[in-house]
Amino acid sequence: MARRLTLTGNDAAAEAMRQIDPDVVTCFPITPQTELMHKFAEFVADGDVKAEMVLVESEHSAMSAAVGAASAGARVMTATSANGLALMWEIVYIAASNRLPIVMPVVNRALSGPINIHCDHSDTMGCRDTGWIQLYSENAQEVYDNVLQGILIAENPEVLLPVMVTFDGFIISHTVEVLDALDDKDARDWVGDYKSTYSLLNTDEPATFGPLDLQDYYFEHKRQQIEGMNNATGVIKSVGEAYGKLSGRAYGMTENYMTDDADYVVVALGSTCGTAKVVVDEMRAEGKRVGLLKIRSFRPFPHAEILAGLASAKAVGVLDRSVSFGAPGGPVHKEILAALSGTGDATVVNYLYGLGGRDISLDHIRTVFEELETLAGKTIPADEVRFIGLRG
Amino acid sequence: MSQAIERARTYLKPLKKLPTVWCGGCGLGVVLSSLTRVMAEMGLDKNKTATISGIGCTGRLPTYIDTNTLHTTHGRALGFATGVKLANPELTVITAMGDGDSVAIGGNHFIHACRRNIDITAIIVNNCIYGMTGGQYSPTTPHGKRGTTAPYGNVEYEFDIVSLAAGAGATFVARTTVYHVRELDKLLERAIRHRGFSVVEVVSNCYTSYGRLNKFSGPVDMFKWMKESAVTVKQAGEMSPEELEGKFIRGIHVEKDQPEFIDVYDKLAQDLTKGPSTVNQKLRATIEGYEQLGDKLKAGIG
């Protein structure tokens, strides 16, 4: 039986965490993530969960404590945003390299400076090479669903990698939405119990995590990590299908929304996809062949789904909500170009939008589709970036 | 009186920044007015003063002050301030931090700045809570007191910032409250004039996040608590441990002369570059290079 709830994105993540009831949760407050851990602290205080919650003195310590607890064999979660994620950086790599299946909601927020607390993707895009799986969420429903799926993806023995479930700061984190949640028994059965392969607490079979690993074996260990990430593609899909059977909401690597016969496709991540779907519906009603390719899993990157989603496109508008300074276009644009390399002659146009929480409207996205129509067939230099909603 | 207020006001940025972001009844306004008053009374040159902060409610304080200002990342005000002071030792460098900023995420910077005895004034506004993010307990939330993440009372024990600073080697350590405004003025001036690392802990009130959770009836009630709980160093010396239960001690706790970091560094450089050896010539050339860089920086700031 599904339960229909009215929650903010932060509360939706906390609700999933309540049902998962991890062994250990580490936390440190940072806007706009704070309310998530706040809610979870209430669950702890009210005895709704058995989780051991540790409030530490910085995010670096939050991730360090998470790594310690996960090495001991615990199911561990934490959450953060922006500068908090940046401060964790060193240990973010270690969590992935030590193959610890930590699941971390990251509430997207612009990185300083100047200081800004609103949404863009500079924090998690900066983390794209850390070895973490990254699932982007469109709304509170997906936040909830992705957190529950993240546990199974991370802990899969063929993967054993940490997962970031990202969602847009304030736009999703502080907005109240209606969503369907599993009932507690179904959710508990879904995540099951976690039994780690190796545990520091198992003194009968001592294990060592993260020792000095130089020219002798480091390279082989990285190769194993690459394979774990490659394996994640299949696991994300199979977990998404199984979750669909349980909840009625199936998930894949991407959501290809009306792309099958689309001439013009917008590629986006996060809450902007909800806005883009409205524009696609409106323009479809006007007889325009437009579509949206929503990237759910940015790591691993969904090459096959991208190719399928863009197969009929004459022009593609890639929407980036973060900058890769000095690079040809934003992070998503570069990857789309790489995926399409040698496959045809779709015109790919890069749009930079929404930095520091700058709003993106239906009109903006409509303008992108209209511009794509005029640009189809033309060659756009890879480093040419168009700005949405920028003054001057 | 009004002239003093007018003078202090010239140390505030143009009024479009006002009113402040702080909640009604917050003690931070008292700290801001005290600091600008002291700056005015001392006649600090705005262009030769840098006010530096990290993140949090107190982190907003330099936003309103019309000196050079630097708003940095959570916990790192002292790291940035050390860089500013080293690059331009002529600047009067003042940092404003909250309890979370200074002794939680920035705790390591804090103890090492104390140890180093560099000429920086650290104002720590201690409201016993993470105010801006909604009242999570901090390292100075007293044991047993409530925070939103400690709804049944804090199980941890709090830092005593004065003892921490003294133990770490700060050469001027004082404490007062936002209720004791005249003492705050006096201590801030003493701290800024002190040659070395100086710490002023200002016990403040966060009614919104701390007071409401801990049975205070309002901001005024919290000021009453400060009035009744803070005893002077002299009074404390005459009180028994039982009488001191639940009290805290205001006034100057540490004030000592100890060579300041940049002074020691300069003297070392001078001593090392005496004499005609090649090594010394190279050192001299390096130091001259830094001095030229310093002149350029000063020109840029002026």
Q: Do the beta carbons of residue A327 and residue A335 sit within 8 Å? A: no
pLDDT at B297 over 80: no
HSE of A205 in the Cβ direction (CA atoms, 13 Å)?
A: 6
Same structural domain, B130 and B276: no
- Neighbouring CB atoms inside 10 A of A97's CB total 18
In this predicted model, what pLDDT tens digit does every residue of A320-343 receive, in sequence order? Answer: 999 999 998 999 999 999 999 988
pLDDT of residue B283: 75
B233 vs A342: which has the higher pLDDT: B233
Q: Which of B255, B277, B292 is the last residue of a domain?
A: B255
pLDDT of residue B288: 83
pLDDT of residue B5: 84
DSSP 3-state assignment of B77? helix
User: How close A84 gets to chain B, by Cα (Å)?
Assistant: 9
Same structural domain, B99 and B201: yes
DSSP 3-state assignment of B92? strand
Of B71, B75, B134, the CB nearest to A34: B134
Task: Output the six-digit token pair for B5.
Answer: 């207020």
Query: Looking at residues B56-75, what average pLDDT do you find?
Result: 95
Q: State the Cα–Cα distance between residues B100 and B90, nearest whole angstrom.
A: 29
Same structural domain, B202 and B295: no
Tally of domains in chain B: 2
pLDDT at A214 over 70: yes
pLDDT of residue A163: 98
Same structural domain, B149 and B11: yes
User: How close A41 gets to chain B, by Cα (Å)?
Assistant: 6
Interface probe, candidates B136, B146, B155, chain A, greatest A C-beta count within 10 A: B136
- Neighbouring CB atoms inside 10 A of A186's CB total 15
Tell me the CATH number at B144: 3.40.50.970
Same structural domain, B19 and B113: yes
A48 vs B150: which has the higher pLDDT: A48
Q: Which residues contact B141 (CB under 8 A, 6 or more apart)?
A: B128, B129, B147, B150, B154, B156, B158, B210
Mean of the per-residue pLDDT values for chain A?
96
- Neighbouring CB atoms inside 10 A of B66's CB total 18
Report the chain B residue with the minimal C-alpha distance to residue A53: B149
User: How close B149 gets to chain A, by Cα (Å)?
Assistant: 6
Residue B301: pLDDT band with limits 50, 70, 90: low
pLDDT of residue B295: 80
DSSP 3-state assignment of B269? helix
DSSP 3-state assignment of B292? helix
Q: Do the beta carbons of residue A312 and residue A261 sit within 8 Å? A: yes
In this predicted model, what pLDDT tens digit does every residue of A380-389 receive, in sequence order? Answer: 998 999 999 9
DSSP class of residue A110 equals P
Interface probe, candidates B70, B74, B80, chain A, greatest A C-beta count within 10 A: B74
Residue B28 CA, distance from chain mean position: 12
Q: Do the beta carbons of residue A207 and residue A200 sit within 8 Å? A: yes
Of B105, B107, B137, the CB nearest to A55: B137
User: How close A25 gets to chain B, by Cα (Å)?
Assistant: 13
Cis peptide leading into residue A32 (ω within 30°): yes
pLDDT at B269 over 90: no
DSSP class of residue B193 equals H
Query: Looking at residues A42-58, what average pLDDT do you find?
Result: 94
Same structural domain, B295 and B203: no
CB contact under 8 A, B133 and A31: yes
Interface probe, candidates B72, B133, B156, chain A, greatest A C-beta count within 10 A: B133
User: With an 8 Å Cβ cutoff, is B118 touching chain A?
Assistant: no
Query: For a pLDDT cut of 70, what percent of chain B falls above it?
Result: 95
CB contact under 8 A, A38 and B137: no
Q: State the Cα–Cα distance between residues A152 and A154, nearest whole angstrom.
A: 6
- Kindly list the residues from chain A whose CB atom is less than 8 angstroms away from the CB atom of residue B53: none
Same structural domain, B35 and B136: yes
What ipTM is given for this predicted complex?
0.77
pLDDT at B81 over 80: yes
- Kindly list the residues from chain A whose CB atom is less than 8 angstroms away from the CB atom of residue B137: 55
Q: Do the beta carbons of residue A32 and residue A83 sit within 8 Å? A: no
User: With an 8 Å Cβ cutoff, is B77 touching chain A?
Assistant: no
In this predicted model, what pLDDT tens digit does every residue of A223-236 receive, in sequence order? Answer: 999 999 999 999 99
CB contact under 8 A, A55 and B149: yes
Same structural domain, B251 and B274: no
Query: Looking at residues B80-86, what average pLDDT do you find?
Result: 97
- Kindly list the residues from chain B whose CB atom is less than 8 angstroms away from the CB atom of residue A34: 133-134, 136
Same structural domain, B242 and B138: yes
- Strands B248-255 and B172-177, by their bridges, are antiparallel
In this predicted model, what pLDDT tens digit does every residue of B11-26 receive, in sequence order? Answer: 998 866 788 999 999 9
pLDDT at B1 over 60: no
| pTM given for the model | 0.88
- Kindly list the residues from chain A whose CB atom is less than 8 angstroms away from the CB atom of residue B151: 41-42, 45
Least confident of A377-386, B6-15, B24-33, B90-99: B6-15
What domain range is B292 assigned to?
A: 261-301
Same structural domain, B97 and B32: yes
Residue A1: pLDDT band with limits 50, 70, 90: low
Question: Could you tell me which of A284, A301, A305, A278 has the C-alpha nearest to residue A293?
Answer: A305
User: With an 8 Å Cβ cutoff, is A83 touching chain B?
Assistant: yes
Q: Assign 3-class secondary structure to B8-67.
A: HHCCECCHHHCCCCCCCCCCHHHHHHHHHHHHHHHCCCHHHEEEEECCCCHHHHHHHECC
In this predicted model, what pLDDT tens digit does every residue of B95-154 receive, in sequence order? Answer: 999 999 999 999 999 999 999 999 999 999 999 999 999 999 999 999 999 999 888 999
pLDDT at B277 over 80: no
Q: State the Cα–Cα distance between residues B130 and A193, nearest whole angstrom.
A: 35
Query: For a pLDDT cut of 70, what percent of chain A falls above it?
Result: 100
Same structural domain, B57 and B94: yes
pLDDT of residue B302: 44
Same structural domain, B125 and B22: yes
Domains of chain A and CATH, by start: 2-194+215-247 (3.40.50.970), 254-387 (3.40.50.920)
